[in-house]
Structure 1
Amino acid sequence: MATGKRSLTMAAVALVCAVTVLGAPCTAYANPAEPTPGPTPSASAPPSSAVTDATDPELEKVREKLDKLYHDAAVATEAYNAAEEKTEKQSTEVVELARDIVKGRARLEKLRDRAGAAARAQYRGGGLPPEARLWLSDDPQEYLDGASRVRQGQHATKGLLGEMARTQDDLEQYARDAADQWKKLKANRKAKAEAKKKIKKKIASAEELESRLEKEEKKRLAKLEQQAAFRAQAAWLSSGILDEIDSKASAQGKEAVKYATHQIGKPYEWGAEGPTTYDCSGLTSQAWAAAGRGIPRTSQEQWRQLAHIDVRDMRPGDLIIYNSDASHVGMYIGDGSIVHAPRPGRTVTIAGAGSMPILGVVRPDK
């Protein structure tokens, strides 16, 4: 994961993988300063009517619908960020290929000038090839001396023609490569635009659904979210998992945890990598970059590329990947807790590590 702002492509920042949950409501696992959303998305259908004066079962359906909308937005954001990252890489490659083409053309022009100079020299010699002029010489010593020069000239001419041919081949290959990269660049820009549109649509739907709730219903909904997260965390802890997790953080892991926890309270923003706002993988990638270890930008690529660790062996600084589609990531900080950027409308916070379905754990510094 690279630090800093992306420069060669559009100014849009990359990926969000925020799922809808934070953590358990107890102070050991959740930020007491704000309500925390519930567990990962459910397939339950939303209520078909307005939710004014809704009962708790109806609010539970609203919660599940919100979870699904924010989860879908997170998946779309992962696609956006992946496309953005590819776009940056392809833009760089196109620029480098263009430079190679310019250099190759300049080299070819120099070679052509040298070939032209050789042709003009031959013309000034009467149009006869050097071999013929030697055979017509009356001076045997001049013939012997010239024979060596002829051989050198033949080798030089052959080398010059060969170099011209190779340079021309290189230019043609550069042009083909540049055309291919340009097609991929256009395709990824289109993918980014489509993903961005989907993200905005899902978030707008979630916000519209929440706006239909009365003030008291929003409080009850927040309580339902807390309860759902608490149940998931309690079930995870009841397995005795903390009795087996006793690994200490590495030096880099400590630095990553320090960075991540210092961001607590900063708003979530899809595609953001700091320093004032973050999405889930933006937070984890920047935390490890601050610790001197670059990691992939998206939660899916973090899951795919980093070393997998058994949950019982995880240590502070390791990344916990959530959901079957690896759409969310948090950083383990010890004592059964993570720090993460949850979803739109929330801030970076501490949550229960088991408050969302765990796909697996990865270690950046292994």
Structure 2
Amino acid sequence: MGRGKHSVLAAAVTVVCAVTVLGAPGTALASARPAPTPSPSASPTASPTLPPDKDLEAVRAKLDKLYHDAAVATDAYNAAEEKAKKQSAEIVDLARKIVKGQQKLDDLKDRAGAAARAQYRGGGLPPEAQLMLSEDPQNFLDGAGRVLEGERATKGLIGEMTRTQQDLKQYAKDASDRWQKLEANRKAKAAAKKKIQQRIAAAEKLQSRLEKRQQERLAQLEQEAALKAQTAWLDTGVLKEIRSKASEAGRKAVEFATAQIGKPYEWGAEGPKTYDCSGLTSQAWAAAGHPVPRTSQEQWKQLKHVDVKDVRPGDLIIYFDDASHVAMYVGDGAIVHAPRPGRTVTLAGAGSMPILGVVRPDAG
């Protein structure tokens, strides 16, 4: 990453993550925000009293659970979608093989029919019988060679017809299997979609019940929780150990991902206008010339694992025990990610969520 872009990125991280927390482990959270100044014209009883923070914390916890469930379902939806695409392509390929095989079989049958008609024109006698009736020794010898060739050709024709018929039978069986799997994936995809919609609707309904000031306080509590988690992560001294620089491909992936900042989250989306978490990371690495699995769980399963202390810009950080969220490390203790419905692609602290591990798309 160029020096100028690195400075811009560092500045953006400062704005989003509060540099006093990101860069100074152990600093009190209160120091990251100025104390609110009451309006001189406002009366202490002018606005309804906010519910205790513990009640809003319960709301926040419930929202986190709903959006987490939606994220898990989104991963299942994306996985089913990928399998359906693959199976559909396989079915199309099998259909082409079936058409080609049937054309070949029809041609072989035509050739067999032509041979039968030629035999009929020869008086209905097989070539061996016609040969025995020949009185010319030379004709007999020449004919013997032709008979042997004809027998071999006939056997070859019959064998090829048999193999082609067997191939067509196997193609049909394979196509039937793919259709069954495709149908199963369609059902899994529909179930995942329903679950996503239910969880998001429940979260939105819960939020809609809050007054504006309650929603603002809830957002503040969410930020405080993220900053607290980031501070705890930095207090381990991990940032002092992280020294690795981005690879060329990693730099391109970071450039792509950060260029999407501000675009809305949408479950199942892979851009270019909207993204979900793994849609963003998979498209970023595709743009860098290193395609990766579509879902966060498959990225965790298939890509090379590296120690957190060895993380470098472009690496993917997988979150939560079920690998239901993924973000891209961009340096300076920060990530870029598509958080959840109602949010946009943004920068955040790398330790603001429970880290499962780090994977490297361009390892080796």
Deviations 1:284-303 (A, max 9, x none): 01111111111110000100
Q: Which amino acid aligns with 1:143?
A: F
What residue number does 1:286 align with? 283
Instruction: Report the Cα distance in structure 2 between the residues aligned to 1:330 and 1:29, rounded to whole angstroms.
Output: 20
Deviations 1:146-194 (A, max 9, x none): 1111111000000000000000000000000000000111111111111
Give the drift of 1:25: 4.4
What residue number does 1:258 align with? 255
Flag the 1:59–1:25 CA change in 2: closer, same or farther, 3 A: farther
Alignment of 1:144-155 (within 5 A): 144-155=141-152
Flag the 1:227–1:24 CA change in 2: closer, same or farther, 3 A: farther
Deviations 1:292-325 (A, max 9, x none): 1111100001001111111111100000000000
What residue number does 2:229 align with? 232
8 A contact 1:101–1:175 mirrored in 2: yes
What is the CA RMSD across the aligned residues, in angstroms? 1.6
Deviations 1:319-361 (A, max 9, x none): 0000000000000001110000000011111011011111010
Q: Which amino acid aligns with 2:295?
A: T
1:123 aligns with 2:115: no
User: Which residue of 346, 354, 357 corresponds with 2:354?
Assistant: 357
What residue number does 2:18 align with? 26
What residue number does 1:335 align with? 332
Deviations 1:109-134 (A, max 9, x none): 00000001111111111221111111
SS at match of 1:258: helix
SS at match of 2:102: helix
What residue number does 1:165 align with? 162
SS at match of 2:357: strand
User: Which residue of 172, 178, 182 corresponds with 1:181?
Assistant: 178
1:134 aligns with 2:126: no
SS at match of 1:210: helix
Give the drift of 1:68: 0.2
User: Which residue of 188, 193, 197 corresponds with 2:190?
Assistant: 193
8 A contact 2:265–2:275 mirrored in 1: yes
SS at match of 1:342: coil
1:241 aligns with 2:233: no
Q: Which amino acid aligns with 1:164?
A: M
Instruction: Report the Cα distance in structure 2 between the residues aligned to 1:193 and 1:331, rounded to whole angstroms.
Output: 29
SS at match of 1:272: coil
Flag the 1:29–1:342 CA change in 2: closer, same or farther, 3 A: farther
SS at match of 1:362: strand
8 A contact 1:52–1:213 mirrored in 2: no
8 A contact 2:75–2:324 mirrored in 1: yes
Q: Which amino acid aligns with 2:150?
A: G
Higher relative contact order (CA 8 A, sep 6+): 1
Which contiguous aligned blocks of 4+ residues in structure 1 show a shift greater than 4 angstroms? 27-30
User: Which residue of 296, 301, 306 corresponds with 2:303?
Assistant: 306
What residue number does 1:8 align with? none
Deviations 1:68-115 (A, max 9, x none): 000000000110010011011111111111111111101000000000
Q: Which amino acid aligns with 2:160?
A: E
Flag the 1:157–1:261 CA change in 2: closer, same or farther, 3 A: same
SS at match of 1:332: strand
Flag the 1:260–1:285 CA change in 2: closer, same or farther, 3 A: same
Give the drift of 1:54: 2.0
Instruction: Report the Cα distance in structure 1 between the residues aligned to 2:49 and 2:327, rounded to whole angstroms.
Output: 34
SS at match of 2:106: helix
What residue number does 1:97 align with? 94
8 A contact 1:299–1:327 mirrored in 2: yes
What residue number does 1:317 align with? 314
Instruction: Report the Cα distance in structure 2 between the residues aligned to 1:134 and 1:29, rounded to whole angstroms.
Output: 101
What is the number of equivalent residue pairs in this alignment? 324
SS at match of 1:339: strand
Structure showing greater Rg = 2
Instruction: Report the Cα distance in structure 1 between the residues aligned to 2:145 and 2:19, rounded to whole angstroms.
Output: 91
Deviations 1:226-259 (A, max 9, x none): 1111111111100000111100000000000001
SS at match of 1:330: strand
SS at match of 1:326: coil
8 A contact 2:16–2:347 mirrored in 1: no
What residue number does 1:109 align with? 106
What residue number does 1:208 align with? 205
8 A contact 1:29–1:350 mirrored in 2: no
Instruction: Report the Cα distance in structure 1 between the residues aligned to 2:263 and 2:322, rounded to whole angstroms.
Output: 26
Give the drift of 1:28: 7.3
Segments of structure 1 that go 5 or more residues without pairing to the other structure are 1-22, 31-50
1:81 aligns with 2:72: no
What residue number does 2:36 align with? none
- Report the TM-score when normalising by structure 1: 0.86
SS at match of 2:351: coil
- Report the TM-score when normalising by structure 2: 0.87
